[in-house]
């Protein structure tokens, strides 16, 4: 399990008080009552700060965003994109120097 997944799963476990064996990553966390709209706002804020990313509106309305696994996938993609951009910047700066 990646650091992103561990963090997000732990977040849901702490917020819901559910045992880890009962938390299903593919469940819709809204329909399961794990989070309400304020809880989603808090989740987004915590994730943005923890991983230094920004969600855009299209992320929040993405069909994937309604499951824990989907949130993990979106965050991992954003983190990987940032890593790739940073790697490209380093390569470009070393090629110029």
Q: Where residue 87 sits, what CATH number does that domain have?
A: 1.10.1200.10
> pLDDT tens track of the chain, all 97 residues?
799 999 999 999 999 999 999 999 999 999 999 999 999 999 999 999 999 999 999 999 999 999 999 999 999 999 998 877 776 665 566 666 5
**pLDDT, position 30:** 93
**pLDDT, position 86:** 72
Domain count for the chain: 1
pTM for this predicted structure = 0.84
**pLDDT, position 89:** 64
Domain of residue 86 covers: 3-96
**Please, are residues 67 and 28 in contact by the beta-carbon 8 Å criterion?**
yes
């Amino acid at each position: 399990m990646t650091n992103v997944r561990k963090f997000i799963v732990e977040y849901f476990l702490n917020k819901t008080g559910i045992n880890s064996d009962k938390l299903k990553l593919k469940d819709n966390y809204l329909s399961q009552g794990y989070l309400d709209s304020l809880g989603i706002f808090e989740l987004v804020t915590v994730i943005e700060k923890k991983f230094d990313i920004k969600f855009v509106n299209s992320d929040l309305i993405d069909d994937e965003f309604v499951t824990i696994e989907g949130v993990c996938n979106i965050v991992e993609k954003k983190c990987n994109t940032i890593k790739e951009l940073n790697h490209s910047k380093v390569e470009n700066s070393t090629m110029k120097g």
